[in-house]
Structures are given as C-alpha cells and as structure tokens.
Structure 1
C-alpha cells in the first residue's frame, strides 16, 4: 500500500517508466538528468470507480444471500418443530443463534428485505446515471418509479452462484484503452498514428452516411476537403488544429459505429479520441461556433462510446454546450438574417455558414432532449424561449444516393436531399418528447394538473404523435429486410421510427410521482402492453438487421420497454386471479384493468426471448450494465409463473366478446387496428402441454443464470410480491 501511494505521487515520466521518483519540485532529479519537463497530471483511471461499484454490487449480493438463507433456516426450524424432531430442532436452533435474528424480529427483517431487495430499480438507476455521470438526481422520465413496481423474490436455487463472474475483473475496454492509448508529446507523433488514407475515407463516409443524418452540425464538404488536404499536404495536420481535431473525433465516432459488431476492436476509437484530446485546449481557444462544435463532438462521442473516463460528465459537457449556444444567440431567428450589401459570392458563403449554425442549434437541441429524457432531469433549452426555424429542405439540391451508396458516392454527394428531411423529422420527435417531459414528468408534485387535465394533455400529445408518425411515410427510407444493402444506418429504416413512436406512447403512461399516476383502466393497460410488444419487435428487427445503436441510451430504453411489458402482463394476471377469487368467495368483483385480448403462453415466451436477446447484445459491452439482462431474465421467470398458474388453474376462453373487440379498436390508433389480430394470437381453452418445451432454449439464450426450469421446482415460489 505504501508503494502504491508513492507511485500515485510520481511525475508522469517516472510513472510511465516505472522508475523511482524523488518528487522534488519544480522538477525531479530523473527529469532534470533527462532534460525533459516534469509534469504532474491527474490520472482518472487510478480512482478505479468500477472496482468500488463491483464491491458494492458484491456486498448487496452477499446481503441478499444471507437474508434468503436466514429465511430458509426459519422455515426449517418451524417445520422441524412441527414434526417433533427434537434433535434436528436443537441443531437448527443452535445454528439460528449464530446466523439468524430472533423470531420476534422477523417483521423487521421482512421490511428490510422489501426495502433493499428491489434489484430492478437498482438496474434502472445504474443504466440512467451511468449515461451522464455524476450520480445524483433521477427524475420520473428515467423510469425509476416504474422500476419500483418490481420487488423480486430471490430464487434459492440461484444464490449459490455469482450473477456476474466478471465483476471482479477490471473492465476490458478500460484496460485496453489504458494500454493502447498514449499522450502525444508532439504533432509529428500524433500524425504518425493517423489511419491510412483509404481507412480514413471509409470512416468519414461512414460518419456522413449515419451520424451526420441526425447531427449535421459540421459542413460535409469542409470535412472532405480537410481530409484530402491532411493527406496531400505535409504540414496540414500540424498547422490546422481545428480541422485535425474534428477529423480525429469523427474517426473515433465512426470507429464506434463501424466496429459495433466487432466490439473487441473498440480501443482503436480511444486512440483517435486521445489524439484529438491532445489538441483540445488549442481548439477551445478559438471560441465561438468552433468551440461549440468541439464540445458537441465530445458529447456525441460520449453518447456512443463504451469506454469513457470517470472524470468528465456528459451532463456537464452538454450544459456547457447549451449555454454557449444560447450565448451565441442561436436560439433566436434574428441571428440568421443575411446582412445587406453582400456580393453574390459572399452572400452564398454567409448563407452556408448561417445554415450550419441553424443545424448546429437543432443538433444541440436533440442532444439536450436525449440526455434529459434518459436522466429524467430538467431540459437546458426551453421550447417557449426559442424561435429558430428549422433548416429548409430546398437547400439540398445535389444528386441523391442510390440504395447502396459506395464510399465515393458519399464523398462526392455528401449533402444529399434526404438529409435535411430526415433531420427535421427526428427533431420534431425530440420536440414532442420535450413536451412530454415539461408537461408531465418535470412538473413538481405540488403543481401537478388534476386527472382530467392530465388526460387532456396526454390526448393532445398522442394526437401530435400520430401526426408525426403519418409524416414518416414521406421520408426516403430503405427496406430493412434487404440484407445486402450497404447502408447500415437505422435512421433510414421504418422500424426505427416505429419504435420511437411506441416508446413515446409508453412514456405518456409512465408513472410520474407515484404508481397511482397510471390509470387502472383496461384502455391504458392494453396500450402499455401493445406498444411495449411492438417496441420489442422493432428493437429485435433492428438488431437482426444490424442497424441498432449500441449506446447507453438504447440499453436504457430497451430495459424500460421490457419493464413496461412485464408490468402490463403482471397487472393483467394478478387482476384475473383476484377476480376469480372474488367470484369464488361470493363477493361482487369490482372493475379491474385487464387486457382486452389475452396473450398466449407462446406469445409471451416469444416476446420475452426477443427482448432478452437485445438486452444481452447491448449490455455485454459495459461492465456495469451486464446485470440488466439477468434481472430481466428473472422477471421473465416470474411472469411466466404467473401466466402458467393462471392458465393451469382455470378453464378460459380468450376470444373477446364483440363489444370487447370494439373497445380494443378504440384503444389503439387506427393504423394499428389491422395488425393487432396477427400480433396477439388467441389460445385454446386448455393449457398447451408442450409449453415446457420452450424452456429448452433458455440456457442458450440467457446463459447459465437461467439453467433452472421453474416448473420443475415449484417450491421456489418465484411470483411477484402482491
């Protein structure tokens, strides 16, 4: 420990060379003898934040294991006493004195278990907070209240094994980045690490064909010209730090996207990022729009990267960017007026610069909405305070790409007509998301509107969402089923816009201040079930077509969609059981929220399998996020137990009455009514005896933590807490 503390105080040169440093100021003797500068820089990796998270997670696991063992011991004690087994009872009592609390404290122990055992909520907190750092406030839009619905009972058969065997290992990406990353002490060293020109052209083309569609705040022609000059002119990289920084960050962003299917090579993105950071101070000194674009590049990379430093915060970086943009007046239309008396050539140049400013503002607006929605925090840019118009679609007048554009096509026609149309439509969706945040989720509890007003607000927002969805038909999209198409951007697939629509509907019904914010009606429950099911299907299609964004915000969104699906099924089956019990006891059954079309066991298994597949693919890229698919797997077990007990214990006929079908059609948008029968297959009146065959593929799908068939071990009691 003493040597470790001294090594943390060593200068950078001695630390890298693993040499003894006398820590003399202003320069140590080793640096004086070598004739080099003696620098002491903060090393963010030494904090080992992942290690503390691992220890906290492991501590929670051991505490939960201890509670489960104590509970089993109490049950064994009671069973032994009831059977009159004196000898066994004495042994168990002796063990209980060491392991367990007295019986009169059982109520307190159960209360503690209920308070500390909600692993679902902990995963939502982790997914939301790690997206932005630091870990402070979480709002309702993040899904924290919805997650508190699920208090999981532990399965004793699973407590013996670790839920994450890799928790004690340092994150692979952080180790690789530390090993491969380096500080470039001279521009010559930085230039020598540049990618080969063909690779650089491919990375720039990948950026323009995907990321630039949603965030077009850099001029594509200038980027292409800078790339050509950087490889054609010997001193261009050293003499143009602004252009060099932008290209390095684009290489990093594009590498994350291009290699998202082979994510072991992601440290290459950190190499580009490290090379760009070495020029950050010089670039920020330029100020103005250049400084804003610089910070936005950093924010965009942190929204995508799986390996980011603990020292910097996406939330704080984005706050700096929004304040700088407002300081530049980009939120006011008056800034974009053309000055009088310009020559035709100057007027065209100024018009292009103003158009880039306009796109820069709306790109910043989108980033603000994405991060605020993920964290559930107030937005930095208020819609009522801006009057900036959207970019004009007619500004794009060049040739468009074909269905499979090559690198040369993209670099020759970078500013194609569909760019602006897609960008404006995505921005419209972010505006609607912001309205949901400001009108519902970010309103203090003391100023919450009454239930009737809330229903009116939700209805108005749902109508605007329907208008937005109708406009998707006018976008130049590609068929996701065409697997040979080179374009891998999800911004050009209809599935991506469908899931945006479905997720917004779910966000409308997400609880705000308490669980009572969800109206307990069949209409709302049906919408939650249907749209969560459709979102799962869209994510699965995008994942199958290799068009999904492997980012923190996507992982958070998929997990919340899965929770919404589980909530709808859980509420339906629990209300069904209460209804049957009330009829059996002779009590009149009150109106309860039920699904108007009851899903079959096979449909539930299929949906759970699809959602878990996407969660596994996304969560495996982050050390902290790997627990979410394990939690969802246990939720799947619990829901399937609820469903199977209901189907096996009752004789049902799920085909709805004519008036029920009419109610369902009123619950869904008109465009969804035609497909709802195909999405919800009806089941027969008897339980399918082949249902258990579905569990044969669970170990392959979920991993070792789902190797137990809950129907072979009914004593585990893995239902939700009622």
Structure 2
C-alpha cells in the first residue's frame, strides 16, 4: 500500500542523511525525537497490489521474525537510530566529555551488543552484498569506533577500551576487504573511503601510544587498510591524496619500528613515543573518560603529514576532507 512505500522512502532518506551528517561531523537535519514515522513492515518489497501487501502485513504480524527482502534493511535502520543516539551522547558540543557518565556508555554498548546478536541471517534469493553478515559486522565495528573515538585522546594502554578500539579498527579494514573480495564490484563511496581511512588513522595513533600492539594480526590489518585505499584510489583520483597521507604515516611510524630498540619518552620523535602503563606498584589506573592527555602524537602526525593538518578534536571528520582538498578555497565563495 502507499503507506508502506512512503515509509520506505522516508527511512532511506533518514539513513542517507544520518550517514553523511556523521561523516562530515555536522548535526542532523531532523532530531530523532521529532520523528514519529514507524519502521516499514517486514515484508517483501516485490509485493505490488494492495491485497498482496495486506496479506503480507497479516503474516508479518503473526511471524515478526520472518526473513524477507526488507529484513536486513530494517536492521540497518535500527543501527542508524542507535548511532544517532551515540552521536547525541558523545559528540555533542554543549557538554564536555567528562560529564558523560559510564552508565550512559554502558547502556549504549549493551544496545549495540543486542543489535549484533540479532543480525538476520539472509539466504537464498533475498541475499545481497548488503544483507551479508560481513557487511553487518562492519557496521557493528564502525559503531564501536563512533562510541569510543571521542575518548581516544584520553585513553592510555591501561584502559580496556584501548585494545577494543584497535581491534574494531582492524576489523573494519578486514571486513571491508572481505566484503569487496566476495563481490564483483567495490563501493567507491566517500562513506567507505572515510571509514577505511579513519580506521587506519586509529591503528597508527594507537601504535604510537603503545608499540607493543604490533603483532601479526595488527600487521595484517594495516595491510588490509593500505590495500583498500590503494584499490579505491586507482579508480577515484581524489582518493589518492588520502592514500598518500596514510602511507606517509605508516612509513614514519610502523615501518620504522624496531621491537629490539630501547623505548623512551622523547615525544618529539614519533618513533619513540612511549606511554608505558606500568609503575613499580603495578598498572596505572585508567583515566576518567574525557580526561585530557598531551597532544604530542597529534603534533607528530602533523609534522609527517605537512599539508594535511589534523588535530585531536576534529580529526575524525576534517582530516580526510583536507587531505582530499574536498573543499574549495575561501576565495571560491567571494561574490557568491
């Protein structure tokens, strides 16, 4: 019926708007609490006549967990709603990060784990690249980064979420790589490029904070990130600067790492940054969420990237666009 078609169109627009807003670090056009449109029904979108749709709605009410061509899409819409809650909680500008209590973060994390546990298993004729478990798990790890990235400058290796962030960043690269290898095409969207680049930056940053994170899996994750950026840049000229920026960081940090070399606290050298979390009394307690640490790593990043300047507050959004020269110069806007 027309009502179902209108709901599908609305939620498609919702997903696109939310994805772009998070990527560029801008507020959403319409707040979630201003939306009263119900999710589309879990029925096949191939149904056209009112009688077919009416019968399918009755069947869906009797069996809400049935798998249809819209099941995966509805699940992704729920992820977008959850990510909106995350952004509203941890990316707001009217309150400091230190004011966000651990219970709020724990509640969002629990909601994310519940979403993961309910990933639909779509098979047969309804299966597509965007209904696969690989794709859904990539969205799960992207959401984890969204939740914890604002706190990254305050996390030391002693904090449990430090390793979690590294793992999720690596999984984003690995899952995107598997997703593209299993399909006959590769998505060259800005959203895919942004997710890969941010994941790569996270891994390099965490390595600079604690080189001991380097192992076989970490090396594989870095290679996966490089492979994806290279593949995308070969088909999208604007992405080549992003690839070059990432490769410059890897060359100045990970590729020059010598596990046998002594480590020190000379933060002026990006290869010798050491935030050792051990003292004579044992591990240093993790800092409070939102606490401020030094910005030596960011300063070192800027010295390597040169023209691609980034900072500890807006790097997740701004760095990729600066690297791509995506925004025209200020003079472009003079005279309308």
TM-score by length of 2: 0.66
Give the structure 2 partner of residue 191 of structure 1: none
Q: CA RMSD in A?
A: 3.2
Give the structure 1 partner of residue 50 of structure 2: none
The residue correspondences of 1:263-302 to structure 2 (distance < 5 A) are none
Secondary structure (helix, strand or coil) at the match of 2:176 reads helix
Q: How many residues align?
A: 249
Task: Report deviation, 1:396.
Answer: 6.2
Q: 1:459 to 1:418 in 2, by over 3 A?
A: same
Q: 1:613 to 1:487 in 2, by over 3 A?
A: farther
Deviations 1:472-496 (A, max 9, x none): 1x33147xxxxxxx99942122111
Task: Report deviation, 1:449.
Answer: 5.3
Q: Which runs of 5+ in 1 are unaligned?
A: 1-351, 399-415, 479-485, 574-594, 651-659, 661-716
Give the structure 2 partner of residue 388 of structure 1: 37
* Distance in 1 between residues matched to 2:207 and 2:7, nearest whole Å: 45
Task: Report deviation, 1:428.
Answer: 0.4
Matched, 1:647 2:260: yes
Give the structure 2 partner of residue 434 of structure 1: 84
Task: Report deviation, 1:459.
Answer: 1.6
Deviations 1:489-528 (A, max 9, x none): 421221111111111111112137xx74x33343121111
Give the structure 2 partner of residue 496 of structure 1: 135
Task: Report deviation, 1:616.
Answer: 1.0
* Distance in 2 between residues matched to 1:519 and 1:608, nearest whole Å: 21
* Distance in 2 between residues matched to 1:718 and 1:380, nearest whole Å: 36
Give the structure 1 partner of residue 326 of structure 2: none
Q: Which runs of 5+ in 2 are unaligned?
A: 48-65, 264-281, 283-302, 306-336
* Distance in 2 between residues matched to 1:564 and 1:572, nearest whole Å: 12
* Distance in 2 between residues matched to 1:360 and 1:503, nearest whole Å: 24
Q: Is the 8 A contact 1:555 1:619 kept in 2?
A: no
Give the structure 1 partner of residue 122 of structure 2: 476
Task: Report deviation, 1:618.
Answer: 1.3
Q: 2:167 aligns with which of 504, 510, 530?
A: 530
Give the structure 2 partner of residue 456 of structure 1: 103
Secondary structure (helix, strand or coil) at the match of 2:257 reads helix
Q: 1:638 to 1:477 in 2, by over 3 A?
A: farther
Give the structure 2 partner of residue 552 of structure 1: 190
Task: Report deviation, 1:648.
Answer: 4.1
Give the structure 2 partner of residue 166 of structure 1: none
Task: Report deviation, 1:457.
Answer: 2.2
Give the structure 2 partner of residue 505 of structure 1: 144
Deviations 1:380-418 (A, max 9, x none): 1211111221112156697xxxxxxxxxxxxxxxxx962
* Distance in 2 between residues matched to 1:384 and 1:487, nearest whole Å: 32
Q: 1:613 to 1:354 in 2, by over 3 A?
A: same
Q: Is the 8 A contact 1:539 1:548 kept in 2?
A: no
Give the structure 1 partner of residue 57 of structure 2: none
Secondary structure (helix, strand or coil) at the match of 1:510 reads helix
More helix by share: 1
* Distance in 2 between residues matched to 1:605 and 1:395, nearest whole Å: 43
Task: Report deviation, 1:361.
Answer: 1.1
Q: 1:397 to 1:551 in 2, by over 3 A?
A: closer
Q: 1:632 to 1:355 in 2, by over 3 A?
A: same
Task: Report deviation, 1:556.
Answer: 1.0
* Distance in 2 between residues matched to 1:433 and 1:495, nearest whole Å: 19
Give the structure 1 partner of residue 246 of structure 2: 632
* Distance in 2 between residues matched to 1:418 and 1:357, nearest whole Å: 18
* Distance in 2 between residues matched to 1:619 and 1:396, nearest whole Å: 35
Give the structure 1 partner of residue 26 of structure 2: 377
Secondary structure (helix, strand or coil) at the match of 2:70 reads helix
* Distance in 2 between residues matched to 1:487 and 1:636, nearest whole Å: 41
Q: Is the 8 A contact 1:490 1:548 kept in 2?
A: no
* Distance in 2 between residues matched to 1:456 and 1:536, nearest whole Å: 30
Matched, 1:519 2:155: yes
Task: Report deviation, 1:599.
Answer: 3.5
* Distance in 1 between residues matched to 2:6 and 2:181, nearest whole Å: 37
Give the structure 2 partner of residue 361 of structure 1: 10
Matched, 1:599 2:214: yes
Secondary structure (helix, strand or coil) at the match of 2:38 reads coil
* Distance in 2 between residues matched to 1:436 and 1:534, nearest whole Å: 20
Task: Report deviation, 1:539.
Answer: 1.3
Matched, 1:570 2:208: yes
Larger Rg: 1
* Distance in 1 between residues matched to 2:90 and 2:262, nearest whole Å: 40
Matched, 1:617 2:231: yes
* Distance in 1 between residues matched to 2:131 and 2:123, nearest whole Å: 5
Q: Is the 8 A contact 2:18 2:84 kept in 1?
A: yes
* Distance in 2 between residues matched to 1:549 and 1:492, nearest whole Å: 15
Give the structure 2 partner of residue 421 of structure 1: 71
Q: 1:566 to 1:381 in 2, by over 3 A?
A: same
Task: Report deviation, 1:538.
Answer: 0.5
Secondary structure (helix, strand or coil) at the match of 1:389 reads coil
